[in-house]
């Protein structure tokens, strides 16, 4: 097999991926003779396309799966997609709108037809893109969270939890997304720092029993005004029409005279009571708080305590409804602008202040969230949270890195009931059926619901068309929390071969941002329905950020297209580039230089392979490289053990760096230079045999990280059988090398001397191949004699000798306890070199003197900051060290 002079990923990647699939290497089945290794993919949204976070996450999963496959395990990586209720429905609604179709006009059934058509057309894009990355998923096992079997699993769980008394229906304050027109969970809310405005509004006191103390008031001081007003501060003036009270602290003397008083809502004029409650902070805002139970959770709780009415003035889309009386039909933010203008004109706006605030937004639509009282379905979480916390605390499930245990603990100890209903059509429709009298039954099928409804109502004549199924669908996470079980049909058949073999899975790779609302919930579901945790390890990746520390996103325009990167640098280059600086749990600061480095690594490997394949062998030559071979074997075995340790501890980035240094530094830069024959000379057969064996082992170690180029070189290295691929080759196991420590230590010293020689060459402008002589003054002459051939070859030396003192006219360097001299006569102009060193020495001495004068200045020493004094002392120490080195260099010359 001939190799091109340069590596071209586009010529290699599609070819090998197709062959891997044709050979069925990625397929997995229950096999009692092998140890299972299972990963379930965090299902990307069906609306998604590959982004940098996917690249990192799926590269790590593929590295783990490919290594497990090479270890002889039955490696199963289950792919799939999530139906993403909010995002998908928004896309389909927008698509229909472009066609002049309104979702409500066509009805639920027709809308779902359009949604499934959209899913079939666009839903598999990201999975096809993952193939370009090299993801070795068992594609025959691809699942979708809304396919019939997985939908049945979701409904079964809903019915079961309802019958256990863990699911209930009630009116609660929820996070409402006015753009998606649905409730969302706390975990789907993103807090954003913003500059906001605080509006100080005047509420007229209309029935105070006491007179106003005008000496304690002022027009803008946040207290009562001389015109008998109380000033209330709010960031949301458009909600004043939903006010039902103004609250003050009973211990606040500014408002003690308002017992039993009422005030008028500005502009609207409706009278509302003044209430007293210690919940109100006396030193925040004006000390007076408007109470709007329908639009704030704290106000809602205050309203319950004081038995206040609830007035909801917002429609589902965030516009004002008839209960607002004013600005009806206007969007909430338009209403805000208009009411501020009207308040100012009416003299009811005391002042406006800018302040730093936090706005809650929807993760999916980016809309500002509205707290909203709504009838929803909830799942009690306390029942399942306690055991799910225990298994993480005792490391039954290990988090990598372990620092996330604290985050997990805080979440789980403060868990709240999960709002599981969504006001959408795309998703699993809640299996609750309402009777004509408003009561309901929960059942898996309509027929079962009818039977329960007849029994519950005592009305045997009820028909199916008398029942109405709940319009809402379940939260998307209510399907994905079952993922590790449902993908193996563990709810359909709890004792099937796949679920018994592949569950629990081994490792989960995901982001810390979904640690609670996906990882924790999967643990809960696993313990509830399999009495086992769903996975043993959770590897938490960081966020991919740009070099300014910003999260990469298309909106910011700071994220490259992953497919463009693969086209430009090759999948292997991108994979290694992403992993070079991606330690678990820490964010990756992406720089294109990383993927350039990955591509360069591919080229280095390619060229090293071509070098070895280009050698001519002479079987009559004796084995001439026993020392380099023994050393590299020791280095290789140590690296394999180190690599396995990194994998065991989920240090994937460190694992890559171990192989990278082994290949680039030890094999290419050192070993090959030690053993390669002189130009146009043959190599002995034994050295070539060892080198080829080393190269084959390196390809195995590199394969999980760089699958494509390693497969290409694997087949170019030797004739292979029809199923002899590196992707299923045996993972190397470290073996014991006799005298390993001495071999490694001895070679380290020899290579340090070579490094010193090369430094002198660079400093003196001597070419890499110009023959030099080296004189060593060392107590380790025996050791250096043992490695003399390597030092002479790598250092391009014509002679290596030993002496008690260095010769005149030589440049020296120190390595360890030895001093090494390179005579310069004939290589450089000694007189010119002496003049250069003398000039540099004179400058260094002058600089030292100036620093000494500065430090000797009593005024400077007394007034200078400690860090400035320390900096000057360091300058002095550096100057003295340089002077010593220059004096020694001058002496040798």
Residue ranges for the known binding site for ATP are: 554
Q: Residues at the annotated binding site?
A: 554
Long-range pairs, 256-261, Cβ under 8 A, ≥24: 257/208, 257/209, 257/210, 257/211, 257/212, 257/213, 258/205, 258/208, 258/210, 258/230, 259/209, 259/210, 260/207, 260/208, 260/209, 261/205, 261/206, 261/207, 261/208, 261/209
Distances, alpha carbon 26 to alpha carbons 250, 634, 784, in Å = 70, 33, 51
Cβ proximity of 667 and 632 under 8 Å: yes
β-strand pairing of 473-474 with 421-422: antiparallel
Q: What angle do CA 788, 792, 796 make, to 5 degrees?
A: 170
Q: Give the H or E element holding residue 372.
A: strand 370-379
Q: Are 41 and 77 in contact (CB under 8 A)?
A: yes
Tokens of 422: 């969504």
Give the rounded distance of the alpha carbon of 851 from its chain centre: 50
* Torsion sign (Cα): 619, 621, 623, 627: negative
Burial of 831 (0-12, 13-18, 19+ CB in 10 A): exposed
853 burial (CB, 10 Å; 0-12 / 13-18 / 19+) is: exposed
Q: Which residues contact 856 (CB under 8 A, 6 or more apart)?
A: none
Cα–Cα distance between 272 and 263 in angstroms, integer? Answer: 6
CA-to-CA distance for 52 and 545, rounded, in angstroms?
Answer: 9
Give the C-alpha separation, 592 to 578, whole Å: 10
- Contact between 245 and 230 under an 8 Å Cβ cutoff? The reply is no
Contact call for residues 225 and 219 (beta carbons, < 8 A): yes
Which stretches of 387-438 are assigned E, i.e. beta strand?
A: 398-400, 418-419, 421-422, 432-434
Other beta carbons within 10 angstroms of residue 158's beta carbon come to: 22
Q: How far apart are CA 169 and CA 171, in angstroms?
A: 7
- 223 three-state secondary structure: coil
Concatenate the DSSP letters of all residues of 655-723 into one string. Answer: HHHHHHHIIIIIIIIIIHHHHPPSTT--EEHHHHHHHHHHHHHHHHHHTTTSHHHHHHHHHHHS---TT
Provide the β-strand partners of residue 831: none
676, 681, 684, 687 alpha-carbon torsion, rounded to 10°: 10
CB atoms within 10 A of CB 308: 21
Token pair belonging to 271: 């009278």
């Amino acid at each position: 097999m001939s190799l091109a002079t340069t590596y071209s990923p586009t010529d290699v990647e599609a070819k090998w991926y197709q062959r891997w699939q044709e050979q069925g290497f990625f397929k997995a089945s229950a096999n009692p003779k092998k140890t299972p290794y299972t990963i379930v993919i965090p299902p990307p949204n069906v609306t998604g396309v590959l982004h940098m976070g996917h690249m990192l996450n799926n590269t790590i999963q593929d590295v783990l799966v490919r290594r497990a496959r090479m270890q002889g395990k039955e490696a199963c990586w289950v792919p799939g997609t999530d139906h993403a209720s909010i995002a998908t429905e928004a896309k389909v609604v927008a698509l229909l709108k472009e066609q002049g179709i309104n979702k409500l006009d066509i009805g639920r059934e027709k809308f779902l037809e359009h949604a499934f058509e959209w899913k079939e057309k666009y839903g598999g894009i990201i999975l096809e893109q993952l193939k370009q990355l090299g993801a070795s998923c068992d594609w025959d096992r691809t699942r979708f969270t809304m396919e019939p079997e997985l939908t049945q699993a979701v409904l079964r769980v809903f019915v079961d939890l309802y019958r256990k008394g863990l699911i209930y229906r009630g009116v609660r304050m929820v996070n409402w997304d006015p753009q998606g027109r649905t409730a969302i969970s706390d975990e789907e809310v993103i807090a954003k720092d913003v500059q906001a405005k605080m509006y100080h509004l005047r509420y007229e006191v209309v029935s105070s029993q006491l007179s106003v103390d005008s000496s304690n008031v002022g027009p803008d001081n946040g207290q009562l005004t001389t015109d008998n007003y109380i000033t209330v501060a709010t960031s949301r003036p458009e909600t004043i029409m939903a006010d039902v009270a103004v609250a003050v602290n009973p211990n606040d003397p500014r408002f003690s005279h308002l017992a039993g008083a009422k005030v008028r809502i500005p502009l609207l004029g409706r009278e509302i009571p003044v209430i007293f409650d210690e919940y109100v902070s006396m030193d925040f805002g004006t000390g007076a708080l408007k109470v709007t139970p329908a639009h704030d959770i704290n106000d809602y709780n205050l309203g319950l305590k004081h038995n206040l009415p609830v007035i909801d003035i917002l429609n589902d889309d965030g516009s004002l409804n008839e209960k607002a009386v004013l600005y009806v039909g206007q969007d909430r933010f338009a209403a805000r602008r208009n009411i501020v203008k009207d308040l100012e004109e009416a003299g009811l706006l005391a002042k406006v202040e800018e302040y730093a605030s936090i706005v809650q937004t929807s993760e999916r639509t980016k809309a500002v969230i509205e707290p909203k009282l709504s009838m929803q379905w909830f799942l009690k979480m306390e029942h399942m949270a306690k055991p799910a916390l225990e298994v993480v605390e005792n490391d039954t499930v290990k988090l990598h890195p372990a620092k996330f245990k604290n985050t997990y603990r805080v979440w789980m100890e403060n868990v709240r009931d999960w709002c599981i209903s969504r006001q959408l059509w795309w998703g699993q429709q809640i299996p609750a059926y309402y009777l004509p009298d408003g009561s309901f039954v929960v059942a898996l099928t309509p027929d079962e619901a009818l039977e329960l409804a007849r029994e519950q109502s005592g009305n045997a004549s009820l028909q199916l068309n008398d029942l109405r199924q709940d319009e809402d669908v379940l939260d998307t996470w209510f399907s994905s929390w079952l993922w590790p079980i449902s993908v193996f049909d563990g709810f359909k058949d709890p004792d099937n071969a796949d679920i018994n073999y592949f569950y629990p899975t081994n490792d989960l790779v995901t982001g810390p941002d979904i640690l609670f609302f996906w990882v924790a919930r999967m643990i809960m579901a696993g313990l509830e329905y399999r009495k086992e945790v769903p996975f043993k390890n959770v590897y938490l990746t960081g966020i991919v950020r740009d070099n300014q520390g910003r999260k990469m996103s298309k909106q910011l325009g700071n994220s490259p297209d992953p497919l463009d990167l693969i086209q430009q640098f090759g999948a292997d280059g991108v994979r290694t580039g992403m992993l070079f600086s991606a330690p678990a749990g820490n964010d990756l600061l992406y720089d294109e230089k990383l993927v350039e480095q990955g591509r360069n690594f591919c080229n280095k490997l390619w060229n090293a392979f071509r070098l070895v394949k280009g050698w001519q062998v002479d079987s009559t030559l004796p084995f001439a490289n026993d020392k380099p071979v023994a050393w590299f074997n020791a280095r290789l075995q140590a690296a394999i053990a180190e690599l396995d340790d990194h994998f065991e501890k989920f240090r994937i980035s460190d694992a890559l760096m171990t192989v990278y240094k082994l290949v680039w530094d030890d094999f290419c830069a050192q070993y090959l230079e030690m053993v390669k024959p002189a130009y146009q000379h043959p190599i002995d057969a034994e050295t070539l045999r060892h080198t080829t064996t080393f190269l084959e082992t390196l390809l195995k170690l590199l394969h999980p990280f760089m699958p494509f180029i390693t497969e290409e070189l694997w087949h170019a290295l030797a004739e292979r059988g029809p199923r002899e691929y590196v992707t299923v080759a045996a993972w190397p196991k470290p073996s014991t090398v006799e005298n390993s420590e001495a071999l490694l230590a001895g070679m380290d010293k020899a290579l340090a001397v070579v490094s010193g020689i090369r430094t002198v060459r660079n400093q003196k402008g001597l070419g890499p191949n110009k023959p030099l002589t080296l004189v060593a003054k060392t107590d380790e002459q025996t050791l250096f004699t043992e490695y003399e051939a390597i030092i002479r070859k790598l250092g391009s030396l014509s002679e290596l000798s030993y002496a008690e003192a260095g010769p005149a006219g030589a440049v020296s360097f120190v390595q360890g306890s030895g001093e090494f001299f390179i005579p310069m006569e004939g290589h450089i102009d000694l007189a010119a070199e002496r003049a250069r060193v003398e000039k540099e020495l004179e400058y260094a001495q002058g600089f030292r003197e100036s620093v000494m004068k500065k430090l000797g200045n009593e005024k400077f020493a007394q007034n200078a900051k400690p860090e400035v004094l320390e900096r000057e002392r360091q300058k002095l120490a550096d100057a003295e060290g340089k002077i010593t080195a220059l004096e020694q260099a001058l002496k040798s010359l």
